[in-house]
């Protein structure tokens, strides 16, 4: 049986570490089941695991709220668009930093 909570925690930790290592222009506040990213304009981007729905939720200062469900292939996929978590985050963080950001495996 897949432990979705453990996979979500691993994904959030991976995102926090990637952002800390590759994006010195933003502030990262990692938690056990959440990650807060704050840009130079004090805009907040919050990712967290929502246990009731077993989804990763993303609140973006740019695009609003998104929910990501884990697919059978092990990919966090948006419940309202064709985006994966990695695609959406990469696109928005690239916009924030004004350079290409590619978060793998989120």
- CATH code, 46: 3.30.920.10
Q: What is the pLDDT of residue 27?
A: 96
Assign 86 to helix, strand or coil: helix
Handedness of CA 86, 92, 96, 99 (dihedral sign): positive
106 residues of the chain, pLDDT tens digit each: 689 999 999 999 999 999 999 999 999 999 999 999 999 999 999 999 999 999 999 999 999 999 999 999 999 999 999 999 999 999 999 999 999 999 987 6
Domain-embedded: residue 106: no
Domain count, the chain: 1
For the chain, give percent helix, strand, coil, nearest 5: 30, 30, 40
Q: Return the ∠ at Cα 105 (arms to 62 and 48), rounded to 5°.
A: 50
Please tell me the distance from the alpha carbon of residue 36 to that of residue 34, in angstroms, as a whole number: 7
Domain-embedded: residue 79: yes
């Amino acid at each position: 049986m897949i432990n979705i909570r453990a996979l979500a925690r691993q994904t959030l930790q991976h995102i926090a570490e990637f952002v800390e290592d590759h994006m010195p222009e933003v502030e990262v506040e990692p938690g056990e089941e959440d990650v807060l990213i704050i840009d130079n304009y004090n805009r907040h981007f919050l990712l967290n695991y929502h246990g009731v729905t077993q989804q990763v939720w993303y609140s973006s200062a740019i695009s609003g709220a998104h929910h990501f469900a884990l697919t059978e292939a092990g990919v966090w996929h948006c419940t309202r668009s064709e985006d994966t978590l990695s695609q959406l985050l990469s696109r928005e963080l690239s916009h924030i930093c004004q350079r290409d950001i590619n978060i793998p495996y989120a």
